[in-house]
């Protein structure tokens, strides 16, 4: 056996070798993003389920109760824990609505049948007491108080209401460790926030950069491996790299690679060999990306860059799509400012607010009470319709419709430094990617001269268009109806012709 030679003291370290991704230990590729292991974001969304009826209802309707749809990514969020709290919050609201429905019937009888004004006022007063007590117990009761920073325990989340819900939540939980996103609609990057200006690059890989000889042939999987290796050395906050496949939900029916059971959910994970095959021969409805994520601000700010490389006979196409998942809206952080016990001013405010809202909640209570007895009855009708679409018409979109995380996110950065951090991450990663592309080309004897000239322009402006290489960016504007031209036009004050 030959022992490795010792590195002389003071000598420069040897150049790092790029190991093809397929030759690395399986755990490197099997690693899934942990988003900084933050727990606060899950707390905030659990609290939102108690404080925001519409949000809790949408989670159950669009995510938890759906038997066939894929599940969108939710960075730094434990989706099953949030859904368990959402089910409990809805059950509490149903109990309140039942009481109010009875009081509504009594108020109607006393007001229009028995014509008892005193009893009518008493019933209305009891209705206000019910609403006030519910709001007080919601904010200061044990369920919401258990979500305080020093008391939150994800393992202590409320148990599922029945076995059917338990099975669905277990299936949803599997997607957190998956590498497949099944999407619906235009954007495949559902769950990862807002797409920023993307850019794409095409350059010739058949022109030799050496005086003699031809460029070396390469497998596109080697390029993915090289980029991942080089980007992985960056010192960025909570930097994580994964390979992810994005599949269009309307193309899945009949494709057993991603949908073994047409009446089940799409797969959450595919084997590495299948991912490599799709890198070499991408399909219209299934495209692999190398995803680079950086998580900051307690898991609330997630900046990502999705990279795709397509090798043809003579060219290499590079696509880069940056996304930013913005922090939560401020109203979902109320749990951190909520005192264990209400102050006098808070009680006064709660009394005035419920005095106004009680009448409208009382009017809606009969319908809500009836619907609450069978919260999944509408899903039964939806399932029957979905079953017909799948088994008879053979047309169904399995893509995720909603992201648990993005639904509660703001539309932009909430702090100047958050915007600065996102910009730093994207610029740093983009530069490393372009440097790695040049390194890869030069190592295989490909002429990278033009690519070197343009990489700085790509980083600073995202705009290139000349000679044999081409870079397209949604930030590029030219022509009479371009974005830049139209922005200038909109800033010109219109003449008052009347």
Condensed to tens digits (0 to 9), the pLDDT of residues 91-132 reads 999 999 999 999 999 999 988 887 788 899 999 999 999 999
Region 229-236 average pLDDT: 93
State the pLDDT at residue 14.
Answer: 40
Q: What pLDDT, in 10s, does the model give residues 277-336? A: 999 998 999 999 999 999 999 889 999 999 999 998 888 999 999 999 999 988 888 888
pLDDT number for residue 383:
83
Q: What is the model's pTM?
A: 0.82
Instruction: Name the band, by pLDDT with cuts 50, 70 and 90, for residue 262.
Output: very high
The span from the CA of 47 to the CA of 338, in Å, is 11
How does residue 493 score in pLDDT terms, banded at 50, 70 and 90? very low
**484: pLDDT confidence band, cut at 50, 70 and 90?**
very low
pLDDT score recorded for residue 255: 93
HEC string of 351-381 equals: HHHHHHHHHHHHHHHHHHHHHHHCCCHHHHH
DSSP calls for 170-199: HHHHHGGG-SEEEE-SS-S-TTS-EE---E
Residue 485, sorted as left (phi over 0), alpha (psi -120 to 50) or beta, turns out to be alpha
**To the nearest whole number, what is the mean pLDDT of the chain?**
83
| Cβ-based burial of 159 (10 A; exposed 0-12, middle 13-18, buried ≥19) | exposed
Would you state the pLDDT for residue 30?
60
Flag the least confident range among 257-261, 306-310, 480-484: 480-484
Pair type for strands 199-204 and 469-473: antiparallel
- The confidence band for 10, taking pLDDT boundaries of 50, 70 and 90, is very low
């Amino acid at each position: 056996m030959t022992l490795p030679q010792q590195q002389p003291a003071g000598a420069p370290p040897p150049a790092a070798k790029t190991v093809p991704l397929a030759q690395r230990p399986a755990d490197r590729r099997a690693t899934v993003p942990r988003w900084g292991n933050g727990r606060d974001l899950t707390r905030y969304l659990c609290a939102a389920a108690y404080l925001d009826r519409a949000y809790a209802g949408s989670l159950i309707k669009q995510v938890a109760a759906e038997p066939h749809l894929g599940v969108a990514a939710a960075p730094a969020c434990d989706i099953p824990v949030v859904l368990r709290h959402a089910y409990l919050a809805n059950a509490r609201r149903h109990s309140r609505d039942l009481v109010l429905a009875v009081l509504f019937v009594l108020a109607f009888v006393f007001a229009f049948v028995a014509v008892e004004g005193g009893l009518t006022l008493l019933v209305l007063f009891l209705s206000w007491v019910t609403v006030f007590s519910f709001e007080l117990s919601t904010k200061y009761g044990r369920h919401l108080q258990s979500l305080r920073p020093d008391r939150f325990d994800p393992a202590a989340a409320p148990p599922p209401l029945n076995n059917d819900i338990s099975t669905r939540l277990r299936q949803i939980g599997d997607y957190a460790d998956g590498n497949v996103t099944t999407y619906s609609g235009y954007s495949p990057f559902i769950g990862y926030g807002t797409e920023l200006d993307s850019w794409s690059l095409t350059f010739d890989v058949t022109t030799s950069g050496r005086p003699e000889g031809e460029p070396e042939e390469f497998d596109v999987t080697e390029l993915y491996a090289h980029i991942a290796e080089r980007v992985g050395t960056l010192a960025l906050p909570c930097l994580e790299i994964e390979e992810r496949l994005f599949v269009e939900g309307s193309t899945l029916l009949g494709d057993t690679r991603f949908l073994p059971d047409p009446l089940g959910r799409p797969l959450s994970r595919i084997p590495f060999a299948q991912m490599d095959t799709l890198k070499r021969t991408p399909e219209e409805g299934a495209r692999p990306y190398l995803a680079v994520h950086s998580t900051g601000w307690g898991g609330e700010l997630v900046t990502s860059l999705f990279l795709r490389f397509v090798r043809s006979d003579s060219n290499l196409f590079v696509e880069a799509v940056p996304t930013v998942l913005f922090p939560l809206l401020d109203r979902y952080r109320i749990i951190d400012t909520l005192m264990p016990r209400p102050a006098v001013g808070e009680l006064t405010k709660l009394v005035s607010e419920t005095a106004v809202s009680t009448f409208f909640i009382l009017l809606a209570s009969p319908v809500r009470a009836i619907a609450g007895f069978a919260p999944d009855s509408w899903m039964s009708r939806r399932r029957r319709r979905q079953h017909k679409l799948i088994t008879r018409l053979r047309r169904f979109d399995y893509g995720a419709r909603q992201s648990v995380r993005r639904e509660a996110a703001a539309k932009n950065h909430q702090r100047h430094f958050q915007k600065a951090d996102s910009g730093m991450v994207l610029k740093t990663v983009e530069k490393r990617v372009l440097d790695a592309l040049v390194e890869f080309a030069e190592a295989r004897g490909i002429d990278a001269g033009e690519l070197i000239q343009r990489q700085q322009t790509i980083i600073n402006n995202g705009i290139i268009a000349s000679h044999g290489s081409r870079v397209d960016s949604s930030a590029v504007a030219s022509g009479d109806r371009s974005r830049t031209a139209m922005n200038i036009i909109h800033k010109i004050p219109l003449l008052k012709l009347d």
